[in-house]
Amino acid sequence: MTQTLEPASGTTARERVDTWLADFEAALAARDAERAAGLFATTSFWRDLIAFTWNITTVEGREGVAELLRTTLERTDPRGFRTTEEPTEAGGVVEAWLEFETAVGRGRGHLRLVEEGAWTFLTTLYELKGHEEPQGEQRPMGVEHGAHRDRISWKEAREAEQAEMGRTTEPYVVVVGGGQGGIALGARLRQLGIPHVVVDRHPRPGDQWRSRYKSLCLHDPVWYDHLPYIDFPKNWPVFSPKDKIGDWLEMYTKVMEINYWSSTTATSASYDEAAGEWTVVLDRAGEQVVLHPKQLVLATGMSGKANVPTLPGQDRFRGDQHHSSQHPGPDAYAGKRVVVIGSNNSAHDICAALWEHGTDVTMVQRSSTHIVKSDSLMELGLADLYSERAVAGGITTQKADMIFASLPYRIMHEFQKPIYDAIRERDADFYERLEKAGFWLDFGDDESGLFMKYLRRGSGYYIDVGAGDLVANGDIKLVRGTVRELTEDAVVLDDGTELPADLVVYATGYGSMNGWAADLISQEVADKVGKVWGLGSATTKDPGPWEGEQRNMWKPTQQEGLWFHGGNLHQSRHYSLYLALQLKARHEGIPTPVYGLQEVHHLS
C-alpha cells in the first residue's frame, strides 16, 4: 500500500509536518511498513544513525524505507515523534526538527517534506535509556559533603583507576591511535562509563601534531573543529597552528579524564571467536602489556599507512628523502634544492615553508588537484553552519552537525555545486593565474568541489592558505609528469626532465586504513573487512558499487568487535557519539541486531 501526501491549499508548514508525523506514527504503531513508506516521496532518502538499524546507513525510495521498517520496526518500537521548534518552508520544501523515542533510547531527527511526501529523513540516537550521560542536571556532585572516615579524594580515586587499568581491570574497549579521533572517542567512552584505554606511540597527547612540519595548521575554521563537550575558547584563532592544537589536545585529554597511554605501541592483535574477545599486545615504554578487550577500535586517522613510491635509483640518491608525514620542517634545508613529489595539502604547505627559508623548491604535479582558498571556503562553503554569524543566528555546533548529516551522500553533490560555482566566480583571477602557470586544476569529477572529493577519496585537494599564489607567481616551481627514477643528485621525470635535488619529499598521500588492520591483526582480517573510506561513487579513486555511507567507518564491520574511527575534527566529534553508543549498548548487553551490514568491497 502506498499513498501520497498532498497538502490542502493554504495549509501551513506546521500543519503539514503535524499531519505527516501523525500519519507516520500511526503507521508505525500498526506495524504497517508499506503504509509508512507511502508517506515518502518516490525519490526519497532515509539516513539512520543507529536509531533503527544499529548501523550508519541510508535507504532510498519507498521500497528501501519499507524494507528497513519490515526488518527493524518491531524491536525498535519507535514512538513519540514531535517537533522541537517551529517548522519552516522555503522553495516548496518544509523542514522540521524532531525528537522521538525507541525501545532502548532517545533520538533526534530532521525531516524535509515536499508535495509528494518526505524527501529526506534523518534519525539519530543520542542516548540510551537508563544509561544517560552524567551532564546537565545529571552531573555528578564531585564531592561528598560532611565528615567521613577513610574518605578517598578525587585524585586518589583517579590514580587508583589508572594504576589498576590493564592490570587488575580489563578495558572493555582498546582504542589504537591517540590523535583527535582517539581522543574524541575516549571522551565519549569516559562519559558513558565504559572502561577503556587509548594507546598512542607518542610521548604526550597532541604530539601527533607537534611532530609534524612546523608550518602545519588547521585549514578549517575554528567553529568547524570543536571537540565533544568543550568548545575552543572565544578568543581562539580562526586557523589553529599545529603546536597550539597539540597543547589543546593534551589539556583536553587530562581534563576529560581519558585513560590515555602514551609511549605505547600496539604490536599485535588477534580475535578469539569463542571467547568473543581480543588479545592485544602492547609495548608500553619497554614493558609488554597484554589486554583482552571485547572491542578494538582503530583510530589511526581516515588515512592509512603512508604511500611511499618505489622508484629506481632511490638507493643511490645521495641526498635526503622522506614521506611528507616525516618532514621535519624547512630549517635544515635553507639554500638547498628540494623536489616535492605531489600537489596535495602537505605538498603545498611544505613547499611554501621551504620557499620562505630561501630554498629552491620544485613541485611535481602527477595528477589534477582541486584548490580552494581558505577564506572563500570559510565564507561561501561553511559560514551558514560554522561561523560566528551562524552561532549568533542560533546554529549551535550540534545543530550544524545535524544539518550536515541530514543531507544524504547520494544528493550532497547537488548542494555543493552551486557553492563551488560561486567560489570559481569569486576567485576567477586566481584560478586563471594558476592555470597559466601550468597547474592542472579540477573541481572534482562532477564539479562538486572539496567536500565530495574528501568524502569520496580523502585526497586530491588543497585548501589554500598562501602557497597557491606562490605557485601561480612562479616562486614555487611547477612541473607536471611522472617520476621515472632518481639519480645520485636528481629526480628524473618520464619525459627525461632532470630536477637537481638535495632533498626529495614524497607528498604522495596514504593508503586505506585497511592497511593498519593488516599490519596489526592479519591480512585475512583486512580482507574480511574490505575497503575502508569512500562512498562507492564510481568517481576517480572511489570505485563502486555504491555504498551510500563511508565504508566501514564508525559502524560494525564484517569482523566482530573491530571498528574504524577517524576523519577530520568535525567527523571525529560528530561520529564519536554514535560509535560510543554502539559500544555502550554492547557493554550493557543491550541487543544490537545490525541492519544492512556492509558487504565486503576489496581494495582495487
State the number of CA atoms in the 13 A half-sphere of 597 facing the CB.
Answer: 13
Q: Is the pTM of this model over 0.75?
A: yes
- pLDDT, one tens digit per residue, over 429-455 is 999 999 999 999 999 999 999 999 999
Residue 479: give the domain boundaries.
320-506
Q: How far apart are CA 17 and CA 95, in angstroms?
A: 8
What are 579-603's pLDDT values in tens digits? 999 999 999 999 999 999 988 765 4
Q: What is the C-alpha separation between 471 and 439, in angstroms, rounded?
A: 8
Say if residue 2's pLDDT is above 50: no
Residues 478 and 541 in one domain: no
Q: What was the pLDDT predicted at 303?
A: 61
Are 112 and 187 members of one domain?
no
Least trusted range by pLDDT, from 15-19, 104-108, 211-215, 279-283 = 211-215
CATH value at residue 409: 3.50.50.60
Q: CB of 540 within 8 A of CB of 442? A: no
Q: Which three cell numbers stand for residue 568?
A: 577530520
pLDDT, position 233: 97
Beta-carbon neighbour count of residue 446 at 10 Å? 13
Whether residues 483 and 518 fall in one domain? no
Query: Are residues 324 and 428 located together in one domain of the fold?
Result: yes
Q: Are both 234 and 300 inside the same structural domain?
A: yes
Residues 401, 498, single domain; the answer is yes
Give a yes or no: residue 598 inside a domain: no
Both 348 and 301 in one domain: the answer is no
* Mean pLDDT, residues 477-488 taken together: 97
- pLDDT of residue 62 exceeding 60, the answer is yes
The alpha carbon of 195 is separated from its chain's Cα centroid by a whole number of angstroms, namely 23
- Is 333 a domain residue? yes
Number of domains forming the structure of the chain:
3
| 582 and 518 assigned to the same domain | yes
Same domain, 174 and 242: yes
* CA–CA distance, 45 with 61 (Å, rounded to integer): 6
Same domain, 272 and 206: yes
